[in-house]
Chain A
Amino acid sequence: MAQVGIREFHGKKIIYQALEKCNEFKKFKQKKLALYNVDNSWQALIKNNQWLKNKHNLVVKPDQLFGKRGKNNLIGIRLNLNQVREWIKQKSAKPIKIGQNQDRLTHFLIEPFVKHEQEFYVSITQRRDCDEIGFSVQGGVEIEKNWKQVKKIKIDLLDFEKDLKAIQRLLVKVDAKNKKIINQFIVQLYKVFKKYHFTFLEINPFTITNQGIEILDLVLKLDDTASFECKNLWGDLEFPVPFGRTISEAEAYIKSLDQKTGASLKLIMLNPKAKIWTMVAGGGASVIYADTITDLKLGQEMANYGEYSGDPTTNETYEYAKTLFSQMIKHKLTGNKALIIGGGIANFTDVAKTFSGIIMALDDFQEAFKQHKVKIFVRRGGPNYEQGLKEIEKAAKEFGLDIEVHGPGTHMTEVVKLALNYIQ
């Protein structure tokens, strides 16, 4: 949804291809690069990237949406192919910690080493009323120290051609012989940024050799809602989950459901051994339920975050509820578990219709819920809410499940307090 990071490998590929196509860069040749996924065979990598054979002088680094790889000793430089293989083996052997997040290294970018002296910095970001291009002749790992050297210009969203002329103002400190090529490069980068619906671009650094422009390190985010405009331009893209957040089977299933429907279905597992489980309707309301649990100092007991909204069908709601419920009964805990079926007052979602999907799932899980001492707390309003509440209460009682239901007369998050009393 909206801004998503993509791998450096895919980012570079997109930019190289775009540069190759434009007139100013007629002589530009696509640079060599390869992406290795440690779950695949090494032979397949070589087979698909013949240029790697007998290659010396390679650079390898993890490609998993986190930066500061140099500072974390995660760049292998001037290695031959066998050394690259060894390097990857060693780095991916066990999970590592970057900041707060621990995860496995699984994807690596392999490129020819580029000998260079000068390191330039360029970035393009989007603001509400303009785009912004930043440039510095002092790029590289110490960019943050030299942040003041980064000069910025604004690009008007409607009339960008005029503003692009101002790029030369950024290049005051660039040697005369490089001015033209860098100017053209930034102009083209901006055009690609715009056309390809990028939302964030940072090249730190790039350099100039006798082969022309060399992009050494790239961070790229794009707007995935634009895929209907850009599918062909982007080619085969994947949107990896951030480093440190592994995606479970249940989460992946909900994600696949979400992609198939006009409704919105989301699930993030936080702690499968926690006692408070939420199935909340609405993107805004779901955040408030999670907030309230946190505000009541129960964050560690919050099992999941998620939402179902946008008038999902009975069957979609059933699938969502089933997936969530199957996670609820994975771990037997001492004490009680609470399931909050929450939501605000819907504008147009048919409450009775979605609730009948939840009832179907409750039917499937009634025995397990009894064993796990689950009590259900419902709070919901909107079209047909009275019927929905009545039906879910009746069904739960028939299944022998403990339930209490509340309508718009009860404050939306009051049920969180009730659930808290039950689990403590």
Chain B
Amino acid sequence: MNRKNYELFNRETQALIYGNQEKAIQRMLDFDYVCNRKTPSVKAIVNPTGGGPQKFFYGDKEILIPMYRSIKKALAFHHNIDVMVNFASFRSAFISTKQAIFHKKIKTIVIIAEGIPERRTRELIALSKKHKKWIIGPATVGGVVAGQFKIGNTGGTIENMIASKLHRSGSVGFVSKSGGLSNEMYNVIGRNSNGIYEGIAIGGDAFPGTRLVDHLIRMEKNPKIKMQVVLGEIGGTDELEIAKAIKDKIIKKPLIAWVTGTCAKQFSTEVQFGHAGAKSGVDIESADAKNKALKQAGAIVPNSFNDIGKKIKQTYQKLVKAKIIQEVRENKPAAIPNDYETQLKEKKIRKPTQVVCSISCDTGDEATYLGEPISKVTNKESLGLGYVIGLLWFKKKLPLFACNYIEMILKTVADHGPCVSGAMNTIVSARAGKDLISSLASGLLTIGPRFGGAIDGAAKHFKQAYDRKLTAQEFVKEMKAKGVNIPGIGHKVKSIKNPDKRVEILKKYAKKHFKINDYLDYALAVEQITIEKKENLILNVDGCIATTFIDMMMSLPNIFSKKEIDKLIELGFLNGLFVLGRSVGLMGHYFDQLRYKQRLYRFPTQDVLYLTKGKSNE
């Protein structure tokens, strides 16, 4: 990589980003594009928990950036990377930084995390010295070389970066502790000069990887930097080192300096300011003392932060007059297309939605069922699954007797042994090694007009017949004429002498709790006629659920209008009860097969009537 020893980053710098920080990476790429860089600055992402290339925009085009699980792997593929921007958390930044230090190719590591233990940082500093690496941070936003390379989130939005003249080179070097303030200072410097050449925020910790003075001395050597600005902070002795470097003529270019924290004298006890390194208490580390030392050494020190812009302007104009600084030729930054998300937020565009949802919402602090927070529904013991079904299916807050009835139905239909087609399918699938969901789905797929799907049909037929005021007799006659079996009537083994107990219980509950029993009574009248023909043509569990459910809704005229009831039947809500309830049993069968390690099922040949003959070899 073509890089001068006083440069950490330039227009060719290629970086590795540790941590999948989509926003920060996109901001870096936007900056690259605006600056007309030849290639994007982000070459690879390391994400210990996942791999696969990630999509990003470069201008209006989409590009893929490869993602690796380790630094080593990423560097094996990308030979020109010499910068790592480390977004790892304060817990893991130590280890990943250490790995990077040991890598020959990496020359500069930026640590973003705040809150790395000081001992760990000091170990990293010692290691980086040994291996001649530059560490910027921890607890920093990074830095920027105007028009060439920017670290992570430095500089904020693209509009702000252009307004602060960060998209092309100026002549000012800038170093500060604070990342937030560095952005402010790019703006101040941009307004009062031709802008920065390079700006670095070393981070707010007591032991930054590299110090203010380290960067000032490095930038001093850069012929394109003509003047420097440094923003120090109360606490530590870094600024005193700067004063010494000025006195020793190591720093010779004009330097405007200000140390913040002059307010500390207002506090009677030791105060920890926002940055870990900014702590009041020691006299020689006070802002006033350090400002004084810098001034004595020959730095240009304003009277307060408010005047720093003025001092920059004066110094800059002097250098222009002396022809040390030439005016910058402004180049036009490339335009970045607007981001959909931002535009939407700013209400500058609109777009029709794609999906409608009226039962639940997850946009607030807590997801809701029909406006009721899930925690509230969960917390109230009296509100069972029936209540949730009321909210999410019917969009109604059902009274307790109705909720209980829904749960009774679910209990009733949960299972009916292994031989019915649904359970059979689930069992066969489970034994073929399929997963839970496939096996469940395989069972559910059998539910239809012949198996389990009779509740809807029964409801439709009984409802229509009753509403058309047909007598039971007329209804049976009509169905016979059509040649259609009445859904909900008939059972394989049960009969009027040997009644289905499930039906008895549901009937009893309906009679006791529902104000209206018209449809059940109608169905029972039909049963009276059908059992005369054959004694197993009784009202079965499907028919009973169908008619009692209509009765239940009819008993709640304030909740269900008649029109709504017709609609619900039409949309197939009642079959939903069977599907939901039976899913419990189907999953039971799935787990049961696994529990007993049942092997692949093969249907016995004895049970097949072969209509063609097999060929014998003899």
Contacts and interface: CB of A to CB of B under 8 A. Distances in A.
A227 B23 CA distance: 30
A23 interface: no
A347 B180 contact: yes
Contacts of A417: 306
A44 interface: no
B156 A382 contact: yes
Between B114, B116, B207, B274, the greatest number of chain A beta carbons within 10 A of the residue's beta carbon is seen for: B274
Given A1-B276, A225-B118, A295-B262, A344 B180 contact: yes
A197 B277 CA distance: 17
Interface stretch (A53-61, A80-88, A405-413): A405-413
Contact of B180 (A292, A294, A309): A309
B181 A288 contact: yes
Interface in A218-277: 223, 225-226, 228-229, 242-245, 264, 266, 268, 270
Interface in A78-133: 100-101, 126, 128-129
Given A197-B117, A345-B160, A347-B154, A292 B181 contact: no
A335 interface: no
A345 B187 CA distance: 8
A411 B155 CA distance: 17
A176 interface: no
14 contacts: A126-B119, A158-B127, A226-B120, A268-B267, A282-B178, A284-B275, A285-B184, A287-B260, A296-B304, A305-B267, A348-B141, A382-B183, A412-B305, A416-B306
A158 B130 CA distance: 10
A250 to B, nearest CB: 17
Contact of A287 (B90, B114, B115, B261): B261
Contacts of A223: 117-119
B184 A156 contact: no
A293 interface: yes
The 3 A-B residue pairs whose C-beta atoms are closest, nearest first, are A283-B274, A284-B178, A344-B184
Between B154, B263, B346, B365, the greatest number of chain A beta carbons within 10 A of the residue's beta carbon is seen for: B263
A30 interface: no
Interface in B107-124: 114-120, 122-123
Between B24, B119, B272, B306, the greatest number of chain A beta carbons within 10 A of the residue's beta carbon is seen for: B119
Interface string A11-40: 000000000000000000000000000000
B184 A225 contact: no
Given A197-B119, A381-B187, A382-B156, A282 B263 contact: no
A383 B346 CA distance: 11
A194 B127 CA distance: 17
A288 B277 CA distance: 15
A225 to B, nearest CB: 4
B309 interface: yes
Between A225, A290, A305, A343, the greatest number of chain B beta carbons within 10 A of the residue's beta carbon is seen for: A225
A208 interface: no
Interface residues of B, number: 74
A268 B270 CA distance: 12
B117 A226 contact: yes
A347 B118 contact: no
B179 interface: yes
Contacts of B278: 283, 287
A229 B274 contact: no
A346 interface: yes
Given A282-B274, A344-B181, A411-B188, A3 B306 contact: no
Interface of B: 23-24, 90-91, 114-120, 122-123, 125-127, 129-130, 141, 153-157, 160, 163-164, 176-181, 183-184, 186-188, 204-207, 231, 233-234, 260-263, 265-279, 287, 303-306, 309, 342, 345-346, 365
A282 B268 contact: no
A49 B427 CA distance: 66
Contact of A408 (B160, B273, B306): B160
A283 B275 contact: yes
Interface string A297-318: 0010010010101100001000
Given A223-B118, A309-B274, A284 B204 contact: yes
A368 to B, nearest CB: 26
A199 B204 CA distance: 17
B156 A348 contact: yes
Contacts of B304: 291-292, 295-296, 413
A292 B306 contact: yes
Contact of B157 (A3, A282, A382): A382
Chain A, interface size: which category? 35 or more
A345 B154 CA distance: 11
Interface string A137-159: 00000000000000000001110
A3 B263 CA distance: 21
A414 interface: yes
B305 A284 contact: no
Given A344-B180, A346-B183, A387-B346, 11 more contacts: A1-B276, A156-B126, A197-B117, A242-B269, A245-B269, A284-B176, A284-B274, A284-B275, A291-B287, A294-B263, A305-B263
A100 B268 contact: yes
B180 A414 contact: no
A387 B233 CA distance: 32
Contact of A383 (B157, B179, B262): B157
Nearest to A282: B180
A286 interface: yes
A188 B180 CA distance: 42
Between A100, A194, A352, A408, the greatest number of chain B beta carbons within 10 A of the residue's beta carbon is seen for: A408
A384 interface: yes
A27 to B, nearest CB: 30
A157 B126 contact: yes
B233 A287 contact: yes
Nearest to B126: A157
Given A3-B279, A129-B125, A299-B263, A305 B271 contact: yes
B234 A283 contact: no
Contact of B266 (A245, A282, A290): A290
A413 B188 CA distance: 12
Given A347-B179, A348-B23, A243 B266 contact: no
A268 B271 contact: yes
A219 to B, nearest CB: 14
Contact of B119 (A226, A228, A284, A413): A226
B119 A194 contact: yes
Contacts of A309: 180, 274
Interface in A337-351: 343-348
Contacts of A194: 119
A290 B305 CA distance: 11
B180 A283 contact: yes
B122 A126 contact: yes
Nearest to B154: A347
Contact of B273 (A226, A287, A293, A348): A287
Contacts of B205: 2
